[in-house]
Amino acid sequence: MSVVIDVIIPVYNEENSIGKVIAEIPKAWVRNILVCNNGSTDLTAEKASDAGAIVLDQPKKGYGNACLKGMEYIANTSNYPDIVVFLDGDYSDYPEEMVDIVQPIIKDNMDLVIGSRALGNMEAGAMMPQQIFGNWLATTLIRWLYNYHFTDLGPFRAIRYKSLMDIAMQDKTFGWTVEMQVKAAKLKLKTCEVPVRYRKRIGVSKVSGTVKGTLLSGHKILWTIFNKALLYGII
């Protein structure tokens, strides 16, 4: 591959799944697999290292903090990638579909590609009802406020590295995915979605698996959408 692709995987206590995720990433397409260990107390880091990933420790809790750690590593390399892929470590996505997600960037000059679970085949029970409703609400608000059409805030996504730098990601917790999409809309980046499959994750979700996690993530997502709209003078 002449296109350089790095993969960032934020993880917290995913010892039973991270090896499977790394094993199914199409290695011929990828330069570095960066597993950003967000204070795991199990064997996640060891399992990831054994599977061939570069393990980066980020003790500051937060999904965004973990992703930012991966970006920091890339920024300090001498050769930047063309594309960065973000993927969760719970084995709910199908890592081999990364090839489909990067194609619109390579062939159609897209800036950001979202792997849409809403457009793909989703196993029954893979997403909780509150997740499905939250996705619909958030993407509807983005369409109304920013005139950009998304169907999902799915974590499985690819972005041109230059576009990622232009977006200047800041969120440290649950608002990471929606911040990227809202800022992409503000910057009028070329975006699209690719249908992806989605299955029940291995283990219990640290976000949707608890009432507290669901409420916190939902609040942060909505806050991010409206806060950016106010900042940009949209409302």
Instruction: Convert the pLDDT of each residue in 87-143 to its tens digit.
Output: 999 999 999 999 999 999 999 999 999 999 999 999 999 998 888 998 999 999 999
pTM across the whole model: 0.94
32 Cα distance to chain centroid: 16
Owning domain of residue 226 = 5-231
- Residue 36 forms beta bridges with which residues? 10, 56
Mean per-residue pLDDT over the chain, rounded: 94
- What is the number of domains present in the chain? 1
* C-alpha to C-alpha distance for 135 and 151, rounded to whole angstroms: 7
- Residue 157 forms beta bridges with which residues? 86, 114
Q: CA nearest 82: which of 11, 174, 185, 1?
A: 1
**How far separated are the first and last CA of the chain, in Å rounded?**
44
Q: What residues have CB less than 8 Å from 229, skipping those under 6 apart?
A: 145, 146, 235
Q: What residues have CB less than 8 Å from 188, skipping those under 6 apart?
A: none
Identify the CATH number of the domain in which residue 80 sits: 3.90.550.10
Asked whether the beta carbons of 36 and 8 are under 8 A apart, the reply is yes
Distances (CA, A) of 165 to 7, 75, 159: 16, 10, 10
- Residue 194 forms beta bridges with which residues? 115
Lowest-confidence segment of 49-53, 56-60, 133-137 by average pLDDT: 133-137
The residue written with tokens 């990227």 in the block is: 180
Q: CA 156, 234, 142 angle in degrees (round to 5)?
A: 25
**Is the confidence at residue 216, as pLDDT, over 90?**
no
